[in-house]
Amino acid sequence: MSANLKHLSITVTGKGGDPNQKEVKQIDIEPGTTPGDVLRSLDLSGYVLSSRTKSSFNDRENLYPLVQDGEDLNASPVMSAGA
């Protein structure tokens, strides 16, 4: 494993429309990786990433400096306005 990689655990909620369903996925990211990159690589179209300290990440921001190695993030379906 490259010294520049950070390992993240992503808890995916709401798969299949069930808000109680949870699945944990593992991913390694490198500098310059965006939340959009993570979601695409995990085949999570229509989801948003968040953490304990940030309600959601912008799909295009550099995720690498915003997270710690070993951090747990959440992926949840994007909520529609008025839902």
The pTM score is 0.86
Instruction: Return the CATH number at 20.
Output: 3.10.20.90
35: nearest Cα among 14, 52, 51, 22: 51
Domain count of the fold of the chain: 1
Residue 14 belongs to a domain? yes
Q: Which residues contact 55 (CB under 8 A, 6 or more apart)?
A: none
Q: What is the pLDDT of residue 33?
A: 98
Spacing of C-alpha 28 from chain mean position = 11
Instruction: Provide the domain limits for residue 49.
Output: 6-77
Q: What is the pLDDT of residue 82?
A: 56
Q: Are 38 and 27 in contact (CB under 8 A)?
A: yes
pLDDT in tens, the chain (83 residues): 567 999 999 999 987 778 788 999 999 999 999 999 999 999 999 999 999 999 999 999 999 999 999 999 999 998 765 54
From residue 66, alpha-carbon distances to 15, 21, 35, 36, 55 in Å are 25, 27, 11, 14, 13
Residue 82 belongs to a domain? no
Strand partners, 26: 9
Q: What is the pLDDT of residue 80?
A: 63
Residue 83 belongs to a domain? no
Residue 13 belongs to a domain? yes
